[in-house]
Amino acid sequence: MKRIFSGIQPTGNLHLGNYLGAIRNWVRLQDEYECIYSVVDMHAITVWQDPQGLAASTRETAAAVIAAGVDPEKNVLFVQSHVPGHAQLAWVLNCVARLGWLNRMTQFKEKAGKHRENASVGLFAYPNLMAADILLYKATHVPVGDDQKQHLELARDIAQKFNNDFGVELFPIVEPLILGPATRVMSLRDGGNKMSKSDPSDYSRLNLTDDADTIALKIRKARTDPEPLPSTLEELTGRPEATNLLNIYAALADSSIDDTCAKFAGWSFSDFKSELADLAVSSLSPIFDEVRRLRGDPAYVDGVLRMGAERAERIAQPILKEIYQAVGFLDA
């Protein structure tokens, strides 16, 4: 059986990277797979979150996922902290994963920066919780952006070690689904940095909640280089900003990067940017309109999340029981 799990953190606005790298694929996969999607608030608190803001962001993130087209009747959509099995399995996996494995995680190094000693233990153990999210449902496929690849490789290692240590075939080996031409959307201000919620400059990203004028302005101000657009992919070498904007166009137009290069060969950036802005506005503004409508109906969103948590719990319960038995915990 094919089962998908994926998660998104409720930290600040969702941006184009989240949309093209993950959520749009979540929508597309829902006809083919059984899908379980989670707003991962327990991951969010690995760095400080204002308690008042967290609950609101959690609801808003769920609303954005629904607005982008994830059908909450067909799929399971829930909040991570509503299903205790995530924390329960994470503890078991903390005892399976090795310190050396976690020490190699580049995202921890980036996030902890120079102040490693001051980072929370949760931030260090974050990939174990992520493995628990996936394995609690025995998910087989995980759609994510390119930045999560290393975490998924770790989840595979943890699953394999668990199976070996306890002599079981309990966990499947997880396949990442990193799909489309925009698996790593870069900052609009610096083609060498990933588009991210934590970038201090709002001009670095397109938020799903930006209005049409803001989207057009941010694209107009996006950094470029002095050359016109090239006709082939090879000529994009060493031009990270041009590559990023063309990748974004290709993804939004559902086209390939080769066809996109051919289409805009020789164009100036200013003409290309106005085409890109129109496409971005027409792709993103229906989502924003729907987010705004859902903001007015928090009871609906909360109802979806309650139902989602019940359904997730029903899938997780027997699997957690099987895991506890394999470990040798006395039956409750």
Residues 6+ apart with CB under 8 A from 232: 258, 261
- Within 10 Å of residue 84's Cβ, how many Cβ atoms? 11
21 vs 85, which CB is nearer to ligand TYM? Answer: 21
Alpha carbons within 13 angstroms on the beta-carbon side of residue 108 total 23
CB of 167 to ligand TYM, least distance (A): 26
Q: Give yes or no: 2 in active site.
A: no
- Residue 250 contacts residue 232 (beta carbons within 8 Å): no
**Which one is catalytic: 111, 149, 161, 263?**
111
Size of the chain, expressed as the number of residues it contains? 332
**Pair of tokens at residue 260:** 């996109």
CB of 254 to ligand TYM, least distance (A): 16
CA distance 289 to 121: 39
Residues 6+ apart with CB under 8 A from 80: 7, 38, 39, 40, 41, 42, 43, 86, 133
CB of 117 to ligand TYM, least distance (A): 23
CA distance 183 to 181: 6
92 vs 142, which CB is nearer to ligand TYM? Answer: 142
* 3 state SS of 193: coil
194 vs 273, which CB is nearer to ligand TYM? Answer: 194
CA distance 130 to 152: 8
CB of 81 to ligand TYM, least distance (A): 12
CB of 130 to ligand TYM, least distance (A): 4
Residues forming contacts to ligand TYM in the complex (CB under 6 A) are: 5-9, 17-18, 21-22, 40, 43, 130, 133-134, 142, 144-145, 147-148, 183-185, 194-196
47 vs 300, which CB is nearer to ligand TYM? Answer: 47
DSSP 273-289: HHHHHHHHHHHHHHHHH
Q: Give yes or no: 197 in active site.
A: yes
Q: Give yes or no: 149 in active site.
A: no
CB of 80 to ligand TYM, least distance (A): 8
**Which one is catalytic: 149, 161, 197, 321?**
197
45 vs 325, which CB is nearer to ligand TYM? Answer: 45
DSSP 111-157: HHTT-GGGS-HHHHHHHHHHHHHHHTTT--EEE--GGGHHHHHHHHH
154 vs 323, which CB is nearer to ligand TYM? Answer: 154
94 CB burial (10 A radius; 0-12, 13-18, 19+): middle
- Residue 13 contacts residue 209 (beta carbons within 8 Å): yes
Using Cβ positions, the residue closest to ligand TYM within the complex turns out to be 21
**Which one is catalytic: 2, 138, 161, 194?**
194
CA distance 243 to 232: 11
Catalytic residues: 111, 194, 197
